[in-house]
Amino acid sequence: MSHTVVTTTTTTTSSSNVGYLNLGYTRSLQGLLKIAQVVTLLIAFLCVYCSRRKWDYTAFQYFEVVTLWFFIAFLIFYLMYVFRLQSKIACINWTLTEFLHYAVGTVLVLIAAIVAAVKNEGASELVAGSVFGFIATFLLAVSIWTSYKVTCGSQPTSAAV
């Protein structure tokens, strides 16, 4: 008795995901959140950086370092997903890495925004920087929520009877 096994594979591609760019990511919720985070962190950094005066500047240096670091980190994540680099470096769990960056970033940006809000001495550009810091904190918290649902969401279970 001879048996024949036939294997068929089907590949489908959408028009927005053809080539090296993933333009569909730029229109997704995660992509739009990442763009908003990058822009908000850049504005917060520039507000504080451009307002150097004669007050206790060490608190604002911390604010600058934190906002600039996470601006660069989230810009790298954004470019990585747009250019599909996460699929080429498969040895790293990018979803978990991004989730941890969001968690640490939310805490550090919140601390920096609180310190900037307390130490601003009424300077309008520092108030604007702290407000954008709080907005960035909110956007990072939303990203934690969305990436948590992807990373640690409900797993299907099978009940044995």
Q: Give the largest CA-CA distance in the chain.
A: 91
Is residue 125, in this structure, part of any structural domain at all? yes
Q: 147 is in which domain, residue-wise?
A: 32-151
| CB contact at 8 A, 109 and 133 | yes
Is residue 63, in this structure, part of any structural domain at all? yes
What is the token pair recorded at 112? 């920096």
Beta strand extents in the chain (DSSP E only): none
**CA torsion sign, 37 to 38 to 39 to 40?**
positive
The total of structural domains in the chain comes to 1
Is residue 117, in this structure, part of any structural domain at all? yes
- Alpha-carbon distance of 39 to 45, in angstroms, equals 10
Q: Residue-wise pLDDT tens for the chain (161 aa)?
A: 666 666 666 555 554 455 688 889 999 999 999 999 999 999 999 999 888 765 667 778 999 999 999 999 999 999 999 999 888 888 888 888 989 999 999 999 999 999 999 988 888 989 999 999 999 999 999 999 887 766 566 555 555 55
pTM for the full model?
0.78
What is the token pair recorded at 145? 């929520």
Is residue 26, in this structure, part of any structural domain at all? no
Is residue 123, in this structure, part of any structural domain at all? yes
Is residue 93, in this structure, part of any structural domain at all? yes
Is residue 159, in this structure, part of any structural domain at all? no
Is residue 109, in this structure, part of any structural domain at all? yes
